[in-house]
Amino acid sequence: MAAYIGSYGTQAFGTTQNSKPNSVIMLYTGHNDYNRQGEPATFVAIGEQDGIASPNVMKRRLEKLKAMGVPTEFHLYKNLGHGFALGTGTTAEGWEKQAVKFWQQQR
């Protein structure tokens, strides 16, 4: 849902005033659609063994956004599947700090 709002704004869900974020943090999602009229800066964190959200789908989406001039960051974590939360004790540990830094750079 957050990714879709990033692409199409809140009016896509029936609000009267449209609002779009300046950045989106996407974790293990299969959202592959994008708005050619503009996308917010996008940070992705995903496990390389995610059987629900394909890392390849996410990487291809970010490549398209990058080609549009959208700031992107892609993090693929080894030995992780779907839903690693904060990643404590895993290769993803600290991803949330990277995401916050990315978000702050977009303001």
pLDDT at position 89: 97
Residue-number span of the structural domain to which 85 is assigned = 2-105
How many independent structural domains does the chain possess? 1
DSSP state letters, 40-63: -EEEEEEETT-SSS-HHHHHHHHH
pLDDT at position 18: 80
pLDDT at position 49: 96
Nearest to 34 by CA among 68, 76, 10: 68
Task: Residue 93: give its domain's CATH number.
Answer: 3.40.50.1820
- Ranges of the chain with pLDDT below 70: none
CA distance 13 to 4: 10
